[in-house]
Amino acid sequence: MTLQDIKQRFGIIGSNPLLERAIEVARQVAPTDLNVLINGESGTGKEVFPQIIHQNSARKHGQYIAVNCGAIPEGTIDSELFGHEKGSFTGAHEARKGYFEVADGGTIFLDEVGELPLTTQARLLRVLETGEYIRVGSSKVQKTNVRVVAATNINFNLAIEKGKFREDLYYRLNTVPINLPPLRERKGDIYLLFRKFASDFATKYRMPAVKLSGEAELALVNYYWPGNIRQLKNITEQISIIEKEREITIEGLLLYLPNYNSSSLPAITNTVFGASSSSEMNERDLLYKVLFDMKKDLNDLKKVVHSIVQGGGSSMGNLPSDDLQTINKLYNNDNNFPIVSNVNEVKVHNPIIVKDNPLGFNQPIVVEESLSLQDKEIDMIKKALKKHKGKRKYASQELGISERTLYRKINEYNIED
């Protein structure tokens, strides 16, 4: 079954490289009996991938059972998974088969596997290692031949560190990891998904499909989408039912996007799933951070100049110390610019001559700063290393990147720490 066949059969929309990589890994691992761990935020569509694996495996004619581990009470989870004997506990009026017995020869999908109690984790580890289990209230060892696919949205490293998840079980489950990207990293797919959902709801409710104006489409794509595909689908359904006009403006769309102003900027997040779940951030996010810092500095400089113009501009030597610090921040020693104690001391290159200078000083001012993202990145790395006295672990946390990425950057730019 090809990639396009899988997308069509399971209703997967989008051509994002990260999504297609996840589908390709699922397709390749399906014919084997290896355990698979699917990592991804809530609402990213993790439930589809166990079905892809099952339907493309030799077990496709066997049972497929999906179990939401977080929805089963702790007192009954062992009975649900492994079965129980008659009279083994109050209410056990007859013997019952568990999911591992029913799914023998097939596939079992353990959703939210990180919610399993520690005692159940020990039982599950035995099944994965030997294929053996014991019903609750029994002493007879039984065998099962089940393919286990698990999914989670928790940070396993943190859960293991806090003693909430067994490290040996994690490595057993994580034989082959599949990492699903959040919707905000699939910007090219967002509007496609919106149109698909809008068409589906138009058919369901027998009404024309809603469309977005250009500005509304841009806002939709730039939204943070903390609830991912599930949230997009719910919002599309709300708009389809509530709005009378079929073309939605940006004002109308923003009524359905909570916290848009604080969520629409590119995200710098400390939650990454799977093997890289130790608070990593990719390089693109680091560059976004650099750009936003540059923009903030330039805005601060504009405020300084504006305040001078508003004040008549008779002298720049009487600027408040906070404004001088703003200029110092832009021209610091790392870029070989002098620290300014008086604005009249600023030296310029390639000056812009301003006739009839309203500011009352003879020297023109030119803001000359390197616009190279690489230079800014090197500068930030040096500052972080200096701040944490060369300790790369803490420097990487300060920058919001992994230690591995920081090591590579230091070697790439020949930075001495």
* Mean pLDDT value of segment 242-253: 93
Alpha helices in 144-185 (DSSP H): 156-161, 167-173
Residue 37 pLDDT greater than 60, yes or no: yes
pLDDT for the residue 318? 54
pLDDT tens, 160-195? 999 999 999 999 999 999 999 999 999 999 999 999
Structure confidence at residue 352 (pLDDT): 43
d(CA 313, CA 129): 78
pLDDT of amino acid 123: 95
pLDDT of residue 356 exceeding 80, the answer is no
- Looking at 3.30.590.10, 3.40.50.970, 3.40.50.300, 1.10.357.10, the CATH number of the domain 3-179 comes to 3.40.50.300
For domain 183-263, the CATH architecture is Orthogonal Bundle (1.10)
> For residue range 38-64, what is the model confidence (pLDDT) as tens digits?
999 999 999 999 999 999 999 999 999
Report residue 275 as tokens: 């093997």
Pairwise CA distance, residues 75 & 32, whole Å: 34
What is the reported pLDDT for 187? 94
Average of per-residue pLDDT across 282-299:
66
**pLDDT value of residue 102:** 95
- Just give the CATH number of 372-413: 1.10.10
pLDDT of residue 67: 95
Measured CA to CA, the distance from residue 161 to residue 144 in angstroms comes to 31
Single-letter amino acid, residue 155: N
Within a 10 A sphere around the Cβ of 293, how many other Cβ atoms?
A: 13
Domain ranges for the chain, please list them: 3-179, 183-263, 372-413
> What is the model's pLDDT at position 223?
94
CA distance 114 to 266: 29
Q: What is the pLDDT of residue 339?
A: 43
Q: What global pTM score does this model have? A: 0.62
**For residues 166 and 121, is the Cβ–Cβ distance under 8 A?**
yes
